[in-house]
Amino acid sequence: MLKMVLHRLAFLIFVVFGVTLITFLLSHVIPGDPAGMMAGQHASSAAVARIRHQLGLDGSAYLGTICRLY
């Protein structure tokens, strides 16, 4: 029983990491800028940059994934 629970917990770690990675990569692949859409059409570039930083979209895919896990 304990072995099965540990196996499922280990699998859960990989699933959470994989879903996070796929979500982050899709946000970089889709057309348009998620931060620009959130800020609106008339937002300044500083506002868009601030939202990009808050969402973790201003770094590499590796760093963004790690930041989203924490």
Instruction: Tell me the per-residue pLDDT of 10-45, one tens digit each, with 9 for 90 and over.
Output: 999 999 888 888 887 787 788 877 788 888 888 898
In this prediction, residue 68 carries a pLDDT of: 67
Tokens 């500083």: give the residue. 46
In this prediction, residue 23 carries a pLDDT of: 82
Which residues have a Cβ under 8 Å from the Cβ of 51 and sit 6 or more positions away? Answer: 35, 38, 39
Tokens of 14: 């990989």
Q: How far apart are the first and last CA of the chain?
A: 30
35 vs 5 pLDDT, higher one = 5
- Helix boundaries (H) for 30-60: 34-39, 45-55
Give residue-wise pLDDT tens across range 44-61: 989 999 998 888 777 776
